[in-house]
Amino acid sequence: MSPRAADRATYLVALLIAALFLVPLSWLLSLSVRTPQEVYLGAARYLPEDPTLENFRLVLTDRSFGLHLWNSLKICALGGAGAVAAAIPAAYAFSRFSFRGRTGLMVAVLLVQMVSPLVVLIPLYRYMDALGMLDTHLGVIGVYVALGVPLSVWVLKSSFDRVPRSLEEAAEIDGCGRAETLVRITLPLAGPGVAAAFILNTMMGWSQFLVPFILLTDTGKVPISVAIFNFAGSTSASTTQLLAAACLVAILPALALFVAVQRLIVRAVSGGAVRG
Amino acid sequence: MDKTTAEELRRAGAAEGARLNLEGIAKRFDGGSVAVSALDLEALPGEFVVLVGPSGCGKSTTLRMVAGLEAPTEGRIRIDGRDVTALGAADRDVAMVFQDYALYPHMSVARNMGFGLRRRGASREETRRAVAEAARILELDDLLDRRPGELSGGQRQRVAMGRAIVRRPRLFLFDEPLSNLDARLRISMRTEVKRLHARFPTTTLYVTHDQTEAMTMADRVVVMNAGRVEQVGTPMEVYDRPASLFVAGFVGSPPMNLFPARLEAGALHAEGRRILPDVPAGLPDGPVMAGLRPEALRLADPGAQGAMPARLDLLEPLGAETLALWTAEGLGEVWVRHDARARLAPGLRAALTAHAADLHLFDPGTGTALRSGAFENRSAPLGSPS
Ligand SMILES: Nc1ncnc2c1ncn2[C@@H]1O[C@H](COP(=O)(O)OP(=O)(O)O)[C@@H](O)[C@H]1O
Ligand SMILES: [Mg+2]
């Protein structure tokens, strides 16, 4: 295959993958600007005749919507920060120390990432119950931390790998202990990786549904994803257009964040070495 | 500086800097590779000691053990008599200039230079003053607010040295600090490092693979090969009396011409020719490795006794002198140092000769020197007592 043909094939595949995500998203957009009457026309009229922003106005002025957004932000940001903090020592050890079974452990960490939270949700529920942490944000944050650690370890390890050891040795000769070197030299230089790990975790938390759905019952505490579900389940079908608008508003922060920082993430995951 | 001067300095207490002793240190890496074995070395206070040897011979490993970045598998390291083998780098009060400079990319030049002082508890004001002083000496005043990424290679190199001198450590370590610079800059930095050492006579251990750098900078040269010390001596001792074939072939540019030969009844024979009569060695007859420096060979009358017919293969005019590669009967290919005005051209057929007094002889099996040329006698300075 010629390079140009290969390029075209790559674009084609990318387009297909994008379509897979964009079709439902555009459907959501279509629904969110309809009047209740037009909702019943379904796919027959993809472009509504009389588009309206009324649904967005209703959603955004709803007090409880703001509360749920705030819940999401709090749980996700703290969960992301916690995961990064917990992953730093492990990632540093994987990057800097050579010990027996290092590669095996790295793979094991990745395997944990593959386990769906669904599988552990029932035992998790019991743990949280035993700990008295059901229906608390702290409990959910704890689970987010645990779920975020594997990916964080990998992202952080690869960005620690890119900080030359001689910089740490120079710091050691300048009188720093290991912890001080980590805080003053390695972490600042691995900054893009730390930020990327934090943002990836926060976005994963944002899209999390099952964990808060199971662990939180107080409707005032649930994040936006669960709140929308509750809303959909508890009211008549005539709210479909409101639901669509709410969904769009809910994914907007994550989307905006991703667009803003995608360069950073790409750089952190694939970038070259730090140079001194 | 020769041994006596350093000794005098030490007695006078004039030298800043520590005495460094390596006692039988060895380093075996986890994979089982032996980087350094049973190395003994003493650096006197204020002395500039250069570790030189081919790539992979264990120079960096030795330096890193002294710095405390690598733990020796065996042996002791003493600084001013105190056993520091078990101490980490942070507790040894040494400064090091790395080959890649290892400047902190996220800090300004000023913060790079002051970092060590601050970490060791100096006040902001003290640090500022020390950094300003070092920056003045190294002409870095205008660069203090820049980041390392905004500097040229030579400037980074100077910042790395600045970072080392700011702390006024008792021991300076350099790991091939000039190897990333272009040739011209390397030569000027060589001078600058020496000038700096004259100003702050701190004990210095300097690693390089470049024998010219070693010869020009060192008070004492330590020639290393395959994890072992081949010879320790002043540059001239190492040049005039190489202790082994390895040193003879490593030191000097071009290095010593070496060729297999035989001693027979006090004369040197090679390829069936009698090359040199009257070798005053008192050695038994048998095979030897013979060595002649490029300046020990001269053009000769083809009819003269012991003259070896030779053909000139190529010329390297250097301006002040000309190097020529000859193929000579008995010697094989040899480099000869000629006067720049000698009338030479490739293809020229002539004869070469040497003095028996300039001959180096080595044991062909072990490589150890059996006899060294007598340069030091002939080149004794005028008026010195003999
Ligand atoms: N961390 C290490 N692990 C294993 N072997 C090493 C390590 N560092 C150096 N070596 C080996 O030790 C030998 C000496 O290395 P080094 O001291 O860096 O040589 P030099 O500085 O003289 O070029 C080399 O053969 C090198 O491959
Ligand atoms: Mg080296």
What percent of chain A has a predicted confidence (pLDDT) above 70?
94
- pLDDT value of position A271: 57
Q: Is the pLDDT of residue A267 over 90?
A: no
> Is the residue at B84 inside a domain?
yes
Query: Which residues of chain A are within 8 Å of residue B102 when distances are taken between CB atoms?
Result: 164, 166-167, 169-170, 276
Q: pLDDT of A222-243, one tens digit each? A: 999 898 888 776 665 568 888 8
**What residues flank ligand 1, with Cβ below 6 Å?**
B 29, 31, 33, 35, 53, 55-61
Spatial distance between the Cα atoms of A10 and B140, rounded to a whole number of angstroms: 51
Tell me the CA–centroid distance for residue B237 and ligand 2, in Å. Answer: 25
Question: Of B240, B259, B278, at which residue does a domain stop?
Answer: B240
Is residue B278 left, alpha or beta, with left meaning phi > 0 and alpha meaning psi from -120 to 50?
left
- pLDDT value of position A257: 84
**What average pLDDT score do residues A234-263 get?**
81
- pLDDT value of position B369: 92
- Cβ contacts below 8 Å, chain A against chain B, sum to 66
Overall pTM surpassing 0.95 (yes/no): no
ipTM: 0.84
Same domain, B185 and B254: no
Q: pLDDT of B310-354, one tens digit each? A: 999 999 999 999 999 999 998 999 999 999 988 899 999 999 999
Domains of chain A listed by start with CATH number: 62-271 (1.10.3720.10)
Structure tokens belonging to residue B129 = 């003053």
Atom of ligand 1 nearest to the CA of B175: 21
CATH number of the domain encompassing residue B358: 2.40.50.140
Asked whether the beta carbons of B234 and B66 are under 8 A apart, the reply is no
Same domain, B179 and B217: yes
- pLDDT value of position B374: 60
Domain around B193: 6-240
Q: Which of A11-15, A41-45, B127-131, B182-186 has the lowest mean pLDDT?
A: A41-45
Helix A63-96 to helix A240-270 angle, to the nearest 10 degrees?
20
List all residues 6 or more positions away from A231 whose beta carbon is below 8 Å from its beta carbon: A239, A242, A243, A246
- pLDDT value of position A1: 59
Q: Is the pLDDT of residue B6 over 70?
A: no
Q: Supply the DSSP symbol for A185.
A: I
Q: Is the pLDDT of residue B272 over 60?
A: yes
Question: Of B183, B205, B240, at which residue does a domain stop?
Answer: B240
Tell me the CA–centroid distance for residue B32 and ligand 1, in Å. Answer: 11
List all residues 6 or more positions away from A59 whose beta carbon is below 8 Å from its beta carbon: A65, A242, A245, A246, A249
Spell A93-119 as b/e; 16+ CB within 10 A means b: ebbbeeeeeeeeebeebeeeeeeebee
Q: pLDDT of A128-144, one tens digit each? A: 999 999 999 999 999 99
Spatial distance between the Cα atoms of A237 and A19, rounded to a whole number of angstroms: 27
What stretches of chain B show up as alpha helix (H) in DSSP? Answer: 3-12, 59-67, 109-119, 124-137, 153-166, 183-199, 211-217, 235-240, 245-250, 375-378
**What average pLDDT score do residues B360-365 get?**
94
Same domain, B89 and B178: yes
> Is the residue at B378 inside a domain?
no
Q: What is the helix (H) or strand (E) element at residue A162, kind and residue range?
A: none
- Give me the DSSP letters along B272-307: TEEEES--TT-PPSEEEEEEE-GGGEEEE-TTSTT-
Structure tokens belonging to residue B322 = 């000309």
- Beta strand pairing call for B257-264 and B267-270: antiparallel
Same domain, B220 and B331: no
Confidence of residue B302 (pLDDT cuts 50, 70, 90): confident
- pLDDT value of position A269: 65
Distances (CA, A) of A260 to A18, A73, A256, B173: 19, 17, 6, 46
Asked whether the beta carbons of B68 and B93 are under 8 A apart, the reply is no
List all residues 6 or more positions away from B59 whose beta carbon is below 8 Å from its beta carbon: B51, B52, B53, B175, B207, B208, B209, B224
Q: Is the pLDDT of residue B60 over 70?
A: yes
Atom of ligand 1 nearest to the CA of B70: 1
- How distant is the Cα of A128 from the closest Cα of chain B, in angstroms? 43
Q: pLDDT of B191-244, one tens digit each? A: 999 998 998 899 999 999 999 999 999 999 999 999 999 999 999 999 999 999
- The reply to whether residue A173 touches residue B105, judged by beta carbons under 8 angstroms, is no
Q: What is the helix (H) or strand (E) element at residue A140, kind and residue range?
A: helix A137-161
Spatial distance between the Cα atoms of B255 and B239, rounded to a whole number of angstroms: 10
- pLDDT value of position A55: 87
Same domain, B232 and B249: no
Q: Supply the DSSP symbol for B244.
A: B
**Please, what is the average pLDDT of chain A?**
88
Same domain, B220 and B256: no
Q: Which residues is B292 bridged to in the sheet?
A: B257
- Give me the DSSP letters along B336-374: EEEETTS---TT-EEEEEE-GGG-EEE-TTT-BEEE---
What percent of chain B has a predicted confidence (pLDDT) above 70?
92
- pLDDT value of position A276: 52
Query: Which residues of chain B are within 8 Å of residue A97 when distances are taken between CB atoms?
Result: none
Spell B116-140 as b/e; 16+ CB within 10 A means b: bbbbeebeeeebeebbbebbebbeb
